[in-house]
Amino acid sequence: MLDVLNSPRFVNCAPAAIHAQLLDEGRYLASVRTMYRLLQGCAAVRERRDQLRHPEYAKPELLAVAPNQVWSWDITKLKGPVRGTCFHLYVILDIFSRYVVGWMVAEHESAELAEQLIADSAMKEGIRPGTLTLHADRGSSMRSKPVATLLADLGIAKSHSRPYISDDNPYSEAQFKTLKYQPGFPSRFGSLADARAHCSPFFAWYNQEHRHSGIGMMTPESVHTGRAAEVRRQRQVTLQNAFARTPNRFKNRLPQPHRLPTAAWINPPTMEKKAA
C-alpha cells in the first residue's frame, strides 16, 4: 500500500483521490482511513502549502495584593469636533485600588508622550525598582522601544495582553466604560481644551467620590491611601446603631458592610493549574 501511495503516479495525490481512482480501475487496496493511518505512521501527512503561523503568546497572570504592585494602562479615542478627528486619552490605573495614578489627553498617540506619563506617574507614586508590573495591550506605543527602555531603567516589569483578547486588560476597559457611560459625556469634543476640561473633574470624581463595586464600594483613593479599613469600621458602627434601634428591620441579623479587597487578578490561574 505504501509503495502505491508513494509511487510517482500518486505521490502528490490525496488518499481520497487515490482511493477513487483505484476503484475506477477495479482495484481495492485499503480504505481512505487506512491510507491516512499508514501515511501518518511514516510522518508523510502534512500541510504542503506555506501557511502564516502566528506566534504563541503567553497568557498574562498578574496578582496584586496591595496598591502599586500592578498598573494597567491604555489609550482610548475621544471624538473630535468633526467626523474623522479625535483626541487620545492616556490612563494609568492601579488594579488593586482602581486608583487612576496618571492621565493625559493629547492630539495624537506617541511613544514619547506615553513615556513621559509613565515616568511622571512612577515618580509621583514613589515607585521603587522591582516592585511594580505595568500591563498594557499590544498597541504600537505600548510595545515601543522608548517605553521599554524607560521601564528597564526604572526597574518596572512589563506585561502585555494577547492579541484580540480584551479580557487580558479588563481594568482599563472597565474604567473607559465608566467614563463614556457617565451622564453628560459628550458625543464630540470641540477642542483639545474641551476634552481636558471634561476629564479633569471626571478623574477627580472617579478617584475621590466614586464608590466602586469591585473594591467593597470604597473610593479608589481610600483604598490606595490605606484608609479603607477605617472607613469600613465607621460603616460597621453605623450599621450596628441601626440594628440596635430596629433589629426587626434586619430580621434580627446584624448587617455587615462590604468586604474590603484582598487581591486583584488579571487572569487568575485555573483550578487545574492550581492543582498542579
Specify the 3-state DSSP secondary structure of 10. coil
pLDDT at res. 230: 97
Q: Under a CB-based contact definition with an 8 Å cutoff, are residues 265 and 274 in contact?
A: no
Beta bridge partners of 157: 133
Domains of the chain: 2-41 (no CATH), 62-215 (3.30.420.10)
Which of 87, 72, 91 lies closest to 179 in space, CA to CA? 91
Of all residues in the chain, what percent carry a pLDDT higher than 70? 95
Gap between the Cα atoms of 108 and 254, Å rounded: 54
pLDDT at res. 50: 64
- Convert the pLDDT of each residue in 163-222 to its tens digit: 878 778 899 999 999 999 999 999 999 999 999 999 999 999 999 999 999 999 999 999
Q: Under a CB-based contact definition with an 8 Å cutoff, are residues 121 and 101 in contact?
A: yes
pLDDT at res. 54: 66
- Which residue ranges in the chain fall short of pLDDT 50? 275-276
H/E segment holding residue 86: strand 86-94
Specify the 3-state DSSP secondary structure of 81. coil
pLDDT at res. 51: 66
- Convert the pLDDT of each residue in 141-165 to its tens digit: 999 999 999 999 999 999 999 887 8
Gap between the terminal Cα atoms of the chain: 45
Note if the pTM is more than 0.95: no
Q: What angle do CA 5, 8, 11 make, to 5 degrees?
A: 45
Q: Give the count of beta carbons closer than 10 Å to the beta carbon of residue 95.
A: 25
pLDDT at res. 271: 61
